[in-house]
C-alpha cells in the first residue's frame, strides 16, 4: 500500500487578521492562519516594513506563534512613539508562491 503522492500547493490564507483596538501595556494578538504544502513560512509586515519577532531578537516583545499569528506581550506606546500602531498584513510563503492577508490596523486606545 503506497500512499498516493500528495501534491504540493501554494499557500492560501484561511484566517485573516482583523482590526484591533488595544490599551497600552496590554497584550494583543493579530491572528493569521495559512494552508499550503509544504507548510508556508509566515511573516508579518507593518506599514510595509517587515516586523521583527523574538525569532530574530530574543528580547522582542513580539512573538510569532506556531500557527502564524503575531502576539504582543504588551503594546508599546510612549510619548516618543507608537512602535506597534499601524497597518499589518501577514504573508505566507512556500516555494510555489505566496499569499498576503487583508490589512488589519492596530490602534492604541486612550491618549
Q: Where are the domains of the chain?
A: 19-108
Taking the model in full, what pTM does it have?
0.89
At 17 the three-state DSSP class reads coil
Contact 86, 46 (CB under 8 A): yes
pLDDT of residue 111: 62
At the topology level, CATH places domain 19-108 in: Immunoglobulin-like (2.60.40)
pLDDT of residue 96: 98
Where do the DSSP E strands lie in the chain? 9-15, 20-22, 28-30, 33-37, 41-46, 49-50, 62-64, 70-72, 86-94, 97-100, 104-108
The per-residue pLDDT string of the chain (111 residues; one tens digit each, 9 = 90 and over) reads 566 678 999 999 999 999 999 998 999 999 999 999 999 999 999 999 999 999 889 999 999 999 999 999 999 887 788 889 999 999 999 999 999 999 999 999 976
Please tell me what DSSP assigns to residue 78. Answer: B
Q: Which residues pair with 91 in a beta bridge?
A: 43, 100
Query: Which of 77, 98, 101 is CA-nearest to residue 89?
Result: 101
Amino acid at each position: 500500500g503506497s500512499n498516493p503522492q500528495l501534491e504540493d500547493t501554494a499557500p492560501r490564507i484561511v484566517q485573516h487578521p482583523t482590526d484591533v483596538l488595544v490599551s497600552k501595556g496590554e497584550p494583543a494578538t493579530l491572528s493569521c492562519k495559512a494552508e499550503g504544502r509544504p507548510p508556508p513560512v509566515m511573516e508579518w509586515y507593518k506599514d510595509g516594513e517587515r516586523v521583527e519577532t523574538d525569532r530574530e531578537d530574543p528580547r522582542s516583545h513580539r512573538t510569532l506563534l506556531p500557527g502564524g499569528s503575531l502576539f504582543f506581550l504588551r503594546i508599546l506606546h510612549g510619548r516618543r512613539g507608537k512602535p506597534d500602531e499601524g497597518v499589518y498584513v501577514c504573508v505566507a510563503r512556500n516555494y510555489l508562491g505566496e499569499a498576503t492577508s487583508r490589512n488589519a490596523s492596530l490602534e492604541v486606545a486612550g491618549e
